[in-house]
Amino acid sequence: MRALLPSLASATVIALTAPTAQAENLDVLMSGVFTDNEATYIGFESIEREDIPELAAVDRKYLVVDFRFTGQEPASEQLQASVHKVCMTLLKDRDLIRSLSDSGYDMVSVAFDRQSQFDCL
């Protein structure tokens, strides 16, 4: 019984810190996507659409990762390449994708300004 209590305490600590670790992992991963002169990682926001029923075929909970270009917004082709770069960085981190999925996320979007979002998955 004594050996079980420390194990349960450790499991509880791990379970309680998992969302924080997930957020830190996402921040570290996204901070390294672009060089300083390309784009700056601002952060992420979790969006949950309460107006959509849970069983609907529409994405209900999603994550927006937010960046800002250092200079002026690039041409359309470069913007698409930047979205692709972010999305592929996310997709290659299987543990993060699994963790997001287990947390109920249906999709991840990328934003480079306050007007537009581009869906990854």
pLDDT tens digits, one per residue of 17-30: 345 556 678 999 99
75-83 long-range Cβ contacts below 8 angstroms, 24+ apart? 79/112, 82/34, 82/38, 82/39, 82/110, 82/112, 83/110, 83/118, 83/120
Going along the chain from its start, the domains and CATH numbers come out as: 18-119 (3.30.300)
* pLDDT reading at 31 higher than 60: yes
Question: Which of the pair, 77 or 52, is modelled with greater confidence?
Answer: 77
What is the pLDDT at residue 40? Answer: 95
pLDDT tens figures, 67-116: 999 888 889 999 999 999 999 999 999 999 999 989 988 889 999 998 99
Question: Which of the pair, 3 or 107, is modelled with greater confidence?
Answer: 107
* DSSP-assigned beta bridge partners for residue 65: 44, 110
Question: Which of the pair, 22 or 53, is modelled with greater confidence?
Answer: 53
Mean pLDDT over each residue of the chain, to the nearest integer: 81
The position carrying tokens 């996204």 is 30
